[in-house]
Amino acid sequence: MYENYIIELEWRHMKEGGNAGLFLHSDPISAPGQPFTRGIEVQILDGRNTPYYTSHGDVFAIHGASMKPDKPHPGGWMRSLPSERRCKSAGQWNHYRVESRDGNIALAVNGEIVTRASDANPRKGYICLESEGSEVHFRNIRIRELPGSNPPPEMVAKKAEGFHILYNGLDLRGWKIKPGHEGHWQAKNWILDYDGMSQADGDKNLWTEKEFANFTLIVDWRLPRQPRLENVPVILPDGSQALDADGKPKTAQVRDAGDSGIYLRGTSKCQINIWSWPVGSGEIWGYRTDTGMPPEVRRAATPLLNADKPPGRWNRFEITAIADKVTVLLNGKTVIREAPLPGLPKRGPIALQHHGDPVQFANIYIKELD
């Protein structure tokens, strides 16, 4: 991770209109529901110039980062525009020199400083080369560190914790592709897309090739189907269904966009639910609904709160399985806390669940804890 430094590099786009970037003070993994990380982006763009953005060295904050432009942006954006346009067009090499000091950023394009920003937060983090779908070349990347200022923790990017990707954004390597999955479970750039209609015989879920024991799993997900009004069960904190004054099962009307889930350790009994029920996503269906389980197990498998975002928006699970206990964070809030799951296998593959509804996944990372 770097705070104060001078970085120099050369770049060229190989296609007109190409889009890329140099990220400063970046987090190590993508922001929730985004293919890019939180940080400060130094734009590397070709041939697209408007009053609001240029191809000549804009600097701007993205996905939760912040900074102060050196002069007001015409649209009020948190984006610094260059004082002059010095970049060469596609196929030609350009030189960037970026100086970062105590949250202040200065960009020189082909030998002249043209863009400045201040009060960057984070002001320390990782450096990232970014591309948005077209060929771009980098060379002569050099850095010289300068004395640091020991910024407070809230101004430092998240530290890399050993996560690695389970979905690479290119194809489904690492996942078991059964006959009938083709055209249904699909890699669509940063999104792993499922239309809900696998033609595979029997098991239509998408399983990892590898088995896992203890781990923390990060998964972004959303239900893209147009919601429709449905009456669904109301679940009490003890895992049972609420009853109305007549003793009949109580329901509530919700905007339902479908159903899916994530299976842990090779068993559908340990299903981390994705749905629109009032109880919220994250519940462990097979344990919450098993009336043969002790009351404390069913209660622990029931979400502590509903932390779902509205249908169509991205959510992030952070699921930790250690021995026979599972904890689930949804959008940064603990919805399942160390739920004891009797009989949970010690290891097994992970699956993205088929439930007949469209669902999209992204930013799938795992950190093994064995």
> Within this chain, do residues 298 and 201 fall inside the same structural domain, yes or no?
yes
Note the Cα 90 to chain centre separation in Å: 31
Ranges of the chain with pLDDT below 50: none
Of 133, 155, 177, the domain-final residue: 155
> Within this chain, do residues 182 and 149 fall inside the same structural domain, yes or no?
no
> Within this chain, do residues 145 and 185 fall inside the same structural domain, yes or no?
no
> Within this chain, do residues 192 and 107 fall inside the same structural domain, yes or no?
no
> What span, in angstroms and rounded, lies between the C-alpha atoms of 26 and 129?
10
Of 155, 183, 207, the domain-final residue: 155
- Whether the pTM exceeds 0.85: the reply is yes
> Within this chain, do residues 187 and 91 fall inside the same structural domain, yes or no?
no
> What span, in angstroms and rounded, lies between the C-alpha atoms of 39 and 23?
6
> Within this chain, do residues 98 and 200 fall inside the same structural domain, yes or no?
no
> Within this chain, do residues 342 and 243 fall inside the same structural domain, yes or no?
yes
Number of domains the chain is built from: 2
**Bond prior to 74 in cis (omega within 30° of 0):** no
Query: Bridge-partner residues for 6, per DSSP?
Result: 99, 144
- Written as six digits, the tokens of 339 are 């739920």
Cα angle value 100/78/36 (rounded, 5°): 75
> Within this chain, do residues 72 and 203 fall inside the same structural domain, yes or no?
no
Which residues does 151 contact at the CB level (< 8 Å), separation at least 6? 3, 102, 103, 123, 124
Domain of 114, in residue numbers: 5-155
> Within this chain, do residues 268 and 317 fall inside the same structural domain, yes or no?
yes
Which H or E run includes 95?
A: strand 94-101
Burial of 346 (0-12, 13-18, 19+ CB in 10 A): exposed
Three-state DSSP at 291 gives: coil
Task: Tell me what pLDDT residue 370 has.
Answer: 82
Handedness of CA 301, 360, 185, 259 (dihedral sign): positive
Task: Tell me what pLDDT residue 169 has.
Answer: 93
Of 113, 135, 155, the domain-final residue: 155
> What span, in angstroms and rounded, lies between the C-alpha atoms of 349 and 337?
22
> What span, in angstroms and rounded, lies between the C-alpha atoms of 50 and 58?
12
> Within this chain, do residues 133 and 180 fall inside the same structural domain, yes or no?
no
CATH of the domain at 328: 2.60.120.560
> Within this chain, do residues 254 and 352 fall inside the same structural domain, yes or no?
yes
Three-state DSSP at 116 gives: strand
Task: Tell me what pLDDT residue 133 has.
Answer: 84
> Within this chain, do residues 65 and 128 fall inside the same structural domain, yes or no?
yes
